[in-house]
Amino acid sequence: MNPIGVGCIVLVCVFGGAMLGMAIRTLLPEHHLNTESKDVIKLGMGLIATMSALVLALLTNSAKGSYDTQRNEITQLSANILLLDRVLAHYGPETKEARDVLRDAVVSNLDRTWPQERRLVSAPGPPSIGAEALLDKIQALSPKNDKQRSLQSQALTMAIGLGQTRWLMYEQGAGSISKPMLIALVFWLTAIFTSFGLSAPRNATVATALIVSALSVSGAIFLIQEMYTPFSGLIQISSTPLRAALTHLGQ
């Protein structure tokens, strides 16, 4: 779901609920809005508000956890790439082709993950293609002593780890906000705003307060959606760690 679209839908629903409440108020008999009725409405809306706050907190925590996980994985991936390059460098000049493949894979992944910062045109494809080519190059090495055999073994393990991390990030990119929870939350918020409209007089101050409140709620859900798309949109994970690693590859 597009975060902006979801935010607009939430805004229309909750502010529309407030306007609906104001319209219903004019149609209800006076005894439906007496003190006793308003007290019952407030109790019911207090319960719904509590449930809404809990669900909103769960959604925020889930989205923030997903965002932080992928950001940490980018940092870890960058460090592992640098370490693998140094291991290959210590093996000897025979690893030049493998190191070139590693560098090309990093450039390709940067272009796929942050297309708005693209430096060269790269065809889309599975994220592990570069890792597989790197594995082939490392396996093709012919170690001449125990040191090189040890470094080759370490390099193979690290290359497999890089491929696993890339596939994990690829799969995590398909995550999104729970639709049932989102629908329930929007319904509850709409009910709350409808109750606001039932007890609110018609004037510019009330209308302004309601629209600001509706914008705040829809903005919160928009931000939650944005955190589930950390490589596009407004809240992006920085490519700086990976680009910093790229500048040191091959040295």
Render pLDDT for 158-189 as a digit per residue (tens, 0 to 9).
998 888 888 888 777 766 788 888 999 999 99
- pLDDT tens per residue, range 90-116: 999 999 999 999 998 888 888 888 877
Round the average pLDDT of the chain to a whole number and report it: 86
**Can you give the pTM of this predicted structure?**
0.80
SS3 letters across the chain: CCHHHHHHHHHHHHHHHHHHHHHHHHHCCHHHHCHHHHHHHHHHHHHHHHHHHHHHHHHHHHHHHHHHHHHHHHHHHHHHHHHHHHHHHHHCHHHHHHHHHHHHHHHHHHHHHCHHHCCCCCCCCCCCHHHHHHHHHHHCCCCCCHHHHHHHHHHHHHHHHHHHHHHHHHHHCCCCCCHHHHHHHHHHHHHHHHHHHHHCCCCHHHHHHHHHHHHHHHHHHHHHHHHCCCCCCCCCCCCHHHHHHHHHCCC
120: pLDDT strictly greater than 60: no
125: pLDDT strictly greater than 50: no
